Structure 1
């Protein structure tokens, strides 16, 4: 007895999906979530099942009096143990205080899930726009319902 055609298609799809590795955006110490951080994609090694993003805020790598602070963004493939270790390592440093140096990390599961990073200027700006649009939508819907 031959298996139904649908089962063969499902089996083929599963085989392709299993052979396909996780894809993450990768970059190192970029000053914005642009360019390399949004264009460089890596197929992760078999043991890596998460995408890791690290965001830090601080002075330029070399010391200079009155140096301005900026974001540094790094993204890479990782496994769960690396994510937990990195998160625990930076938990005390993840203060988001503008006048102090800080570093935070975040992990996610899924192809290219680390497209966005938290607290980058462009993301924060986009979030404000989205929140504004959502608030305007709620007000508009309220007016429609009560008229």
Structure 2
């Protein structure tokens, strides 16, 4: 087996092993403040030792398509979980909690639901195809 072939096999295996390892000491959560889109809420943050949950808080308001009061999304770490949702017709507030690293990927009450293993698999396949494309 040539060194190049060995590298093609070694890098994806190493990446898969690193993505599969869960950090034992600190929780990591996505973090943002007062954003209008989940796209701007994908910044990983290392939580303190007292934090046990990743939380996502979303709030939106309006009256049908006539009046739009806007949408706000906040994410971060928290020592407690107050996972509640309230829909008062004019105002909708949602809070979701989870306890795995980077588990608050999706927006509360909306957006695509994705798991860390699914995201890791997508990243691995993307990197693998890029590596194969670069090698003659």
Partner of residue 97, structure 2: 107
Question: Which has the larger strand fraction?
Answer: 2
TM-score, normalization by structure 2: 0.56
Does 2:57 align with 1:33? no
**Residue segments in structure 1 that go unaligned for 5+ positions in a row:** 1-15, 60-65, 127-147
Q: Between Structure 1 and Structure 2, whose CA radius of gyration is higher?
A: 1
* Cα distance between partner residues in 1 of 2:37 and 2:103: 17
Cα distance, 1:49 vs structure 2: 1.2
Cα distance, 1:67 vs structure 2: 5.0
**Residue segments in structure 2 that go unaligned for 5+ positions in a row:** 1-21, 115-136
Q: Deviations over 1:30-72 (max 9, x none)?
A: 011112x01x11100010011011011026xxxxxx7523321
TM-score, normalization by structure 1: 0.52
Q: Deviations over 1:110-132 (max 9, x none)?
A: 00000012334x439x9xxxxxx
Aligned length, in residue pairs: 90
Alignment RMSD: 2.7
Question: Which has the larger helix fraction?
Answer: 1
Partner of residue 139, structure 1: none
Runs of 4 or more, structure 1, over 3 Å off, are: none
* Cα distance between partner residues in 2 of 1:74 and 1:57: 12
